[in-house]
Structure 1
């Protein structure tokens, strides 16, 4: 259980923050940038939930929880020493990726095949889900970049890759199962 008695600690006043293993790093480090962007994805998912109902809202709630798991995973860099840690670090697992894939497949069954690229928009929920998609793609790019410098849990990268796909398909569902998608017309304004 997490207990936050005091919100400000002043320990970051000089541009550093603590990782999950206690190491202090610059707030602009690649690892902090990666998990900070995952937090942005979570915030955009919260905005999308303002427009979601039923199963879409429940799925977004699961995703928000997963995103905290992902942030916990990314803020703890020392995977090779996980077995020596005081407590078992939280890591993303393949079953979280598989759940996203299953949900994507279920949603995709009712969608017509795409014949054009889609412009973000349509319904309010769809527009917010497209924002989630683009921020999750940025989080993925940053996490992949981090993985070129330090060890990153492969399931974390896979999760981010599937997540942006999930947001894309869910955005189409939010546009009356794709019938209200806003299609790109190449060269329309020349």
Structure 2
């Protein structure tokens, strides 16, 4: 409706949306990092590795039990807690609980930051530069580039992320479904190519 009202092609409208979409992905990944969710795989020896309280659930039962006991010793009210959320809340409020919990956690890749920089910042810069440098680019080009680079960055970034669902063969679900986006990329790039050829022959 918007495209028809403002006499813009639907692919041209899509191009405009795809340029700014990576910024939303960037802020989303930043929120994931702040909330300590969608954390990365274990990264021993990595200087910038981070310990995420929620990753306690990835540890063996005996480690989880020991962590609960130690934290409960410091904060007795945790004895009545029913979920790890209570433990995390206590760790945020009590530095001693936070320190004790950290002893049972493994350092992990801050994969949210990796993905934010790739899927968000890098992708935005690529699309923005193309839009500015090639103002007469055919409609569909930017959308095609979005669907080309996003899965590339996602597949790469997922190597550092702790899988949050069952694997599909050797791939995480995020990697597996990203492959289908290449088909969308090919379709939009083909559309852009046809548009460019029409201009050349007009």
Give the TM-score, by structure 2 length: 0.31
* Structure with greater strand share of residues: 1
Report which of the two structures shows the higher radius of gyration computed on alpha carbons: 2
Give the TM-score, by structure 1 length: 0.32
